[in-house]
Structure 1
């Protein structure tokens, strides 16, 4: 498997209730491969098959911290179980 980036699926339904200047809550944390030939660009689908178009790249790259979980620990409760299963194999 190539380079993996972490992407956030935001809670768009809450976007209308979020105070100005704040981001909508992270609904789910996914893992996605980078685009072929473009390691700085997120690929079109997460490891669980969701479209990454409306997702936000976190800047967290699991390869930069191999001794830690693949996701930022503050989002452990919202990790996508399907992405997690793929990352653990």
Structure 2
């Protein structure tokens, strides 16, 4: 089974600039989840994460656990927001 790393994002918030008006919208990663690949695809997440959440509104990352032997399954910069249920499944 190929796993896809997906981000559960916060709602967009206005990005404040110290030199001018508000610009664009920024979304922060709320949780990092793992999901099986969609049938017939190696780049699209299936409909549910390994913990059972719907992936419809989640963003697929470019991180591929199989390309980083010895590294955790998630991008290290998001270690503090890894879903504990997905992590438990990935560790087994």
Unmatched runs of 5 consecutive residues or more in structure 2: 17-22
Distance (Å, rounded) in 2 between the aligned partners of 1:23 and 1:36: 31
User: Which structure's residues are more often helix, by fraction?
Assistant: 1
Structure with the higher fraction of residues in strand conformation: 1
Partner of 2:26: 23
TM-score (structure 2 length as normaliser): 0.86
CA-based RMSD: 1.3
77-86 or 57-66, larger mean C-alpha shift: 57-66
TM-score by structure 1 length? 0.89
Greater Rg, structure 1 or structure 2?
2
**How many aligned positions are there?**
86
Unpaired segments ≥5 residues, structure 1? none
Write the deviation string for residues 43-86 of structure 1: whole angstroms up to 9, x where unpaired.
11000000000000011010111210000000000000000000
